[in-house]
Copies of this chain bind each other. A is one copy, B any other.
Amino acid sequence: MKNIKVIIFDAYGTLFDVNSAAENCKNKIGEQWEPFANYWRTTQLEYTWLRNLMDRHEDFWKITEDSLDKSMKVFQIDISMKNKLLDLYRVLSTFSEVKETLIKLKEKNYKIIILSNGTLSLLEELVNSNNLQNIFDNVLSIEEVKKYKPHPDVYNIPIKKYQIEKKQFAYLSANTWDVSAAGNFGFNSIWVNRNKSVFDNLDYKPIIEIKNLSDLNNLL
């Protein structure tokens, strides 16, 4: 890929493992920890889309808590687990290859940024708890526009910051609909497909699919 100046990373699910909170509690939650984690994540995303469409914005932490409340009821998980799960969600782990890959990209002088549904304080806590403080040139939150992905206003945030062409950005996400939207917007949108998933039918097929972020070392 040529002429890339800025690499945009989605946070939740791409850099940070959203399932790691529930996995950490699997002794207490039992075998259903993974379906529960997936349900929580799906509900959380649905609430971002639904609130956007209804024009009733709430920030990502409120939505994370609201979706957890529903998910715990559906999976009949004891309410005493709630605070533990929320605390863990503030300090989600990165996927194993993340730090090393980001350091190598930084050495090549790319600007490295986050663009996420999370609030700035949530994103800073994730970055700090994973010792990534010196990696990112910018951490951008949708709170700047109060719309959630995949609203085009969100993908326009980095354009306003850097004033360069869309094709000078690479966009990395593990969320298929996010890859589609960023590609429709005009970014070089790359799909991080860790689990051999099936892509979406939303007017865009990714130009490049990688199995994890370490594949970026050969691409960029």
Q: Which residues of A contact B (CB under 8 A)?
A: 42, 46-47, 49-56, 66-67, 69-70, 73-74, 147-152, 177, 180-181, 184, 198-203
Partner of A202, one of B54, B147, B181: B54
Partner of A50, one of B54, B56, B70, B177: B177
- Contact check: which of B47, B52, B70 meets A53 at CB < 8 Å? B52
Chain B residues, CB < 8 A from A199:
70
With known contacts A46-B177, A177-B46, A55–B201 Cβ distance under 8 A: no
Copies of this protein chain in the complex: 2
| Interface core residue of A147, A151, A202 (most chain B CB under 10 Å) | A202
A169 to chain B, nearest CB (A): 17
Q: List 10 A-B contacts (CB under 8 A).
A: A46-B177, A49-B50, A50-B202, A54-B151, A54-B184, A55-B152, A56-B184, A67-B201, A70-B198, A70-B200
What separation, in Å, do the CA atoms of A73 and B73 have in the docked complex? 31
Q: A50-B202, A56-B202, A73-B198 are in contact. List 9 more A-B contacts (CB 8 A).
A: A46-B49, A49-B49, A49-B53, A50-B177, A50-B180, A53-B181, A54-B202, A56-B203, A67-B201
